Structure 1
Amino acid sequence: MLRWILLIPFACIVAMGAGMFFLAMASVASPAVALLIGGGIERLVDILFGLAESGIDPAPAAQAAFALIGRLGLAIIVVPVVLVAIGSELFRLRSGLLQSGFTGLLAALLPLAMLRLSRAPSPAEIQIISGLFLVGAATGFVYWLIAGRQAGGERPAQP
């Protein structure tokens, strides 16, 4: 029980912090991911200041943009590692490859599902999807290092 109260939440929080670090590293390694993260924020700030300069209240646009950024952050960093952590504990999946792979898959697919991408992705979007997969896989691996190797607790002894 102590595992569910202390170790698993601690491992998830550390993995999420590592995921933020890996996302920053992905933005350094990939121009497409950098454009998504840095370029998107830069454009958002330019738009908000442009609205303010023209006398339009930028608060509604800012609230909507930051809500979308928050949902994307949840879909990329938080939800994948938490879902895989719960699933690995319930089904006693102790494989680092499975935990990394499932977390990476969710980190790549959840933002796409949230944005309802209904067409074939462009090469730049494929590069972003690949970067998100690698960020998720690294996040899942960090969780596995801390808590995933003993997923599900002790197994009963075989007779």
Structure 2
Amino acid sequence: MIRWLLLVPFALLIAIGMSSVFFFIASMVDPLMATLTGETLFVGFWNLVDAVFSSDDPGPIVAEAMLTVGRIMFTLLVLPPLVIAVTGEALKMRSLFWYALATGVLTAAVPWILRGAARVANPAELHVSAILGLTGAVAGFVYWVIAGRDAGGRTPPPPPPASSLPSAEKE
């Protein structure tokens, strides 16, 4: 019970933080991601500034913008590790392969799922999906290191084989 109350949320918090750092660094280092995030932030910022200055009460506009950014971050960075961690705990999965791969695939698939697209429009979409997949894999790996190796609680060690018992106990 303590595991579910303390260790799992702590592991998720650290895993989401590390994947956020990875995503931030990848968005600056990778040329395609830097262009994409730079243009998105530039256009979004100036649209927000225009809306704020054209309104009598900018409070609701800023609140809605922050809520939208929060929803996007939750959908890309929090939801996939959360779903995989809860699933892994329920199924008592202990495999690094499960946590890293499943979180990576789910994170990479989120944009495709949300827009309902099954085909690739251009190679840049695959590139962004690869970065998102790596971001999810980082979250899955960090979660596994902290809590995933003992998913579902510890199982008791198997009994020793009969041949290793002392001779007095054999008789």
TM-score by length of 2: 0.80
2 CA distance for matches of 1:128 and 1:7? 32
Alpha-carbon displacement from aligned partner over 1:131-158 (angstroms, at most 9, x marks no partner): 0000000111000010001111123566
In structure 1, the partner of 2:91 is: 91
In structure 2, C-alpha distance between the alignment counterparts of 1:118 and 1:97, rounded to whole Å: 25
8 Å contact kept, 1:15–1:143: yes
Match of 1:41 in 2: 41
The runs of 5 or more residues in structure 2 that have no matched partner are 160-171
Structure 1 residue 110: Cα displacement: 1.7
Asked whether the equivalents of residues 94 and 150 of structure 1 are also in contact (C-alpha less than 8 Å), the reply is yes
Determine the C-alpha separation between the residues in 2 that align with 1:3 and 1:37.
37
Aligned partner letter, 1:77: L
The SS at the match of 1:106 is helix
Would you say how many aligned residue pairs link Structure 1 and Structure 2? Answer: 158
Moved over 4 A (4+): 56-65, 156-159
Q: Which moved more, 1:16-25 or 1:34-43?
A: 34-43
**Contact 1:72–1:111 (Cα < 8 Å) also in 2:** no
Q: Which amino acid aligns with 2:35?
A: L
Match in the other structure for 2:76: 76
Amino acid at match of 2:123: P
Q: 1:147 corresponds to which residue?
A: 147
Q: Cα offset for 1:66? A: 3.6
Q: Tell me which residue corresponds to 1:127.
A: 127
Question: Quick one: distance in 2 between partners of 1:71 and 1:56?
Answer: 24
CA deviation vs aligned residue, 1:94-138 (integer Å, no higher than 9, x gap): 111110011111111123322444652311111111100000001
Superposition RMSD in Å = 2.3
Give 1:138's aligned residue.
138
TM-score (norm 1): 0.85
Indicate the percent of aligned positions where both proteins have the same amino acid.
36
Unaligned runs of 5+ in 1: none
Contact 1:100 1:139 in 2 (8 A): yes
